[in-house]
């Protein structure tokens, strides 16, 4: 758009962009001592930027234009999103279309003139309870029988029909908190989609099963890149703590 935006809302254009994201993530995690919780959303957004363009080029769809409009909204409001990827899965020996309950993988149950209706659940949704937006992607490569499970979209976390079942971030007795972010980290949710309506402008994949696994994999690759910033930062904090303890005990040169 040409406007100044957060790098946590940026679509990477070069190797330098990736390096700057890594440096930013490492610095921010050094300051918090743990997860900064902004990486999942933009990792999913970067994956969508690639896959929606690929679908449009190959299939003549209009997903990328929808995505770019959503991206402008995301950047303008400096939103935080999570990525709801991991399905409940049920019997792990069976594929989505072989499950006794087809809703064990999130799926499309109805296609309407103004959008789609989805049903199912996503597990282990880090920051789901306090994200602005939930970005949904497939969790695996899909077969020709599984086009209904090839779906990606974004919704506000408080959208009608979306239910967040949250776990405590850390179940301990009540205490005074001196550094709650560093102490407790983050929370996650089991996110239920109970016949949720998604308007077309927020749908970025609808049945294109040959791209489902590609989207799942690309998000994972971008997310592993984020880890190259946050995990070294955690090591920095631990090494610094060890050095400080040694200094306090007068053995820093031992």
Q: pLDDT digit string (tens) for 35-46?
A: 888 999 999 999
Q: Confirm whether 133 is domain-assigned.
A: yes
CA-to-CA distance for 144 and 147, rounded, in angstroms?
Answer: 6
Task: Supply the pLDDT for residue 30.
Answer: 92
Task: Supply the pLDDT for residue 161.
Answer: 98
Q: Confirm whether 1 is domain-assigned.
A: no
Q: What is the pLDDT of residues 184-217, one digit of tens each?
A: 556 788 999 999 999 999 999 999 999 999 999 9
Task: Supply the pLDDT for residue 11.
Answer: 97
Q: Confirm whether 253 is domain-assigned.
A: no
Task: Supply the pLDDT for residue 253.
Answer: 86
Spatial CB neighbours of 164, under 8 Å, sequence gap ≥ 6:
125, 128, 129, 157, 189, 190, 191, 192
> How many structural domains comprise the chain?
1
Q: Confirm whether 99 is domain-assigned.
A: yes
CA-to-CA distance for 92 and 108, rounded, in angstroms?
Answer: 21
Task: Supply the pLDDT for residue 169.
Answer: 64
Which of 113, 111, 125 minimizes the C-alpha distance to 157?
125
Which of 210, 216, 82 minimizes the C-alpha distance to 138?
216
CA-to-CA distance for 179 and 91, rounded, in angstroms?
Answer: 41
Q: Confirm whether 254 is domain-assigned.
A: no
Q: What is the mean pLDDT of each run of 10 residues along the chain (254 residues)?
A: 90 96 93 87 97 98 98 97 96 96 98 98 92 97 98 98 83 63 67 98 98 97 93 91 94 86
Q: The domain containing residue 164 runs over which residues?
A: 7-248
Task: Supply the pLDDT for residue 177.
Answer: 63
Task: Supply the pLDDT for residue 35.
Answer: 84
- CATH of residue 126's domain is 2.40.110.10
Give the helix/strand (H/E) hosting 205: strand 203-206
Q: Residue 155: beta bridge partners?
A: 134
Q: Taking the model in full, what pTM does it have?
A: 0.89
Q: Confirm whether 2 is domain-assigned.
A: no
């Amino acid at each position: 758009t040409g406007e100044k935006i957060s790098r946590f809302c940026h679509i990477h254009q070069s190797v330098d962009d990736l390096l700057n994201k890594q440096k930013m993530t490492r610095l921010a995690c050094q300051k918090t001592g743990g997860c900064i919780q902004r990486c999942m959303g933009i990792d999913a957004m970067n994956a969508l930027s690639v896959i929606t363009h690929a679908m449009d080029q190959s299939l003549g769809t209009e997903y990328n234009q929808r995505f770019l409009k959503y991206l402008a909204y995301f950047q303008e409001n400096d939103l935080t999103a999570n990525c709801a990827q991991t399905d409940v899965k049920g019997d792990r020996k069976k594929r989505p279309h072989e499950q006794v309950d087809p809703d064990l993988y999130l799926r499309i149950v109805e296609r309407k003139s103004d959008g789609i209706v989805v049903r199912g659940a996503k597990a282990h949704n880090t920051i789901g309870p306090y994200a602005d937006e939930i970005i949904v992607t497939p969790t695996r490569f899909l077969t020709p029988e599984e086009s209904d499970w090839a779906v990606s979209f974004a919704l506000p976390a408080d959208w009608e029909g979306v239910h967040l079942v949250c776990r405590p971030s850390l179940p301990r007795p009540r205490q005074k908190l001196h550094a709650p972010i560093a102490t407790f980290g983050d929370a996650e949710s089991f996110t239920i989609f109970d016949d949720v309506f998604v308007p077309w402008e927020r749908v970025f994949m609808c049945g294109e099963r040959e791209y489902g696994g590609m989207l799942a994999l690309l998000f994972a690759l971008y997310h592993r890149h984020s880890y190259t910033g946050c995990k070294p930062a955690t090591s920095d904090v631990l090494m610094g703590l060890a050095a400080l303890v040694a200094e306090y005990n007068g053995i820093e040169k031992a």
